[in-house]
Structure 1
């Protein structure tokens, strides 16, 4: 399965960068604007991964019914985005062996693309701040295409831009979003065990394997391709 891999599509939040502390600050500043009580990091981690709109929908749903959410949604999303941009990357950090893993993949000759559900306006400056932008030839955000992961569209578009068949492109992520999108697109997929995955066990994800770090993913590919 991993013998003919030419490229990797790698997720951002929960896979390369632990951004939950940034979400915590931005969401609680937004909630303060609306005179709502702060949320804990554990609660927020279960809501991350399906894009900003989904995140704010879930956050408001803790306090309001559907009509209440709808009435406040636009203002809450705007407030959240303003607060997030102000602190983007300040409280987040790279997971272990991310730089080493990305460099090892590049050394294997792999082309790297980042596909995230995070809006591009957040993703690009964050990746620059954490000094991982240079590894990637392209970054696609949650607003790059008509649909986000778990829809396969972003994966298929990335493969098309790479001019590779999905079977030649390995997806790496931390959640069922990544695995479902990759599976539907026809990409092999590996998951990391330390991300968010909506509060569910990573072992429940239908992936082709769990790798402790991106460096171990690169070593796995190296071993498969040396045979």
Structure 2
């Protein structure tokens, strides 16, 4: 953790346990469409690639449901609108910060290290959730899944944040819970730490080959 200029974090499954809110909104969407509810266990496997992918996976009850041609466009459009309506009301009601998150964010801020959130969640919901969790003031940069033309695992959001904040690659660290975070960081040329408690489609984060795995952010202090 020496000589760091910037720490970039994923959001869902890294800083915030957000599946309860997502699952509640997803189940209400499915109920509106007279479809079987999914529940938290399935939702946990489907998150990580943005809301459009999550909605398509729920509509098909399949993690590959976001592939082209799997979902009828009019159905997706209606489902997406219904999900966003419900998620706007559910956001923050059941979510909570993982242990050690605030302590770590405070420590980085005290050391003068810049901090950024790089998530595939839409920017609108990202800013709202950060504010609801009362951690928005720790971050110098926030990038959502719809902020740029590419999202993780593409390195663009990471590279854009580093350039905007003036942080060199060798002084930057990425922290995340999924293979999307690991791939994006490696493609951007930065070190990456994996967290095992989040959402990685049910697979151990070690299989994504991060540079280090820690069970809590406080292990890095």
Structure 2 counterpart SS, 1:199: coil
Q: Say which is worse superposed, 14-23 or 162-171, in terms of deviation.
A: 162-171
Residue aligning to 1:152: 155
Alignment gaps of 5+ in structure 1: 220-227
Cα deviation for residue 68 of structure 1 reads 4.7
Aligned equivalents of 1:72, 1:66: Cα separation in 2: 12
1:60–1:69 CA contact under 8 A, matched in 2: no
Tell me the C-alpha RMSD between the 2 structures: 1.6
Give the total of aligned pairs.
217
CA distance in 1, matches of 2:159, 2:121: 18
Task: Identify if the C-alpha distance between structure 1 residues 156 and 32 changes in structure 2 by more than 3 Å, giving closer, same or farther.
Answer: same
Please tell me whether residue 35 in structure 1 is matched to residue 52 in structure 2. Answer: no
Offset, 1:67? 5.8
Q: Report the equivalent of 2:48.
A: 49
- Please state whether the residue corresponding to 1:197 is helix, strand or coil: coil
Unmatched tracts of structure 2, length 5 or more: none
More off after superposition, 63-72 vs 193-202 = 63-72
Give CA deviations for 1:190-221 in whole Å, capped at 9, x if unaligned. 0111001111111212111012222222x1xx
Q: CA deviation digits over 1:128-172, x for unaligned, max 9?
A: 111100110111111110011000000000110111222211000
- The answer to whether the Cα contact below 8 Å between 2:191 and 2:211 also exists between their aligned partners in 1 is yes
Please point out which of 106, 109, 114 is paired with 2:112: 109
- Output the CA distance in 1 between the equivalents of 2:207 and 2:104: 24
TM-score (norm 2): 0.94
Residue of structure 2 aligned with 1:161, choices 157, 160, 164: 164
Q: Could you state the TM-score of these two structures normalised by the residue count of structure 1?
A: 0.91
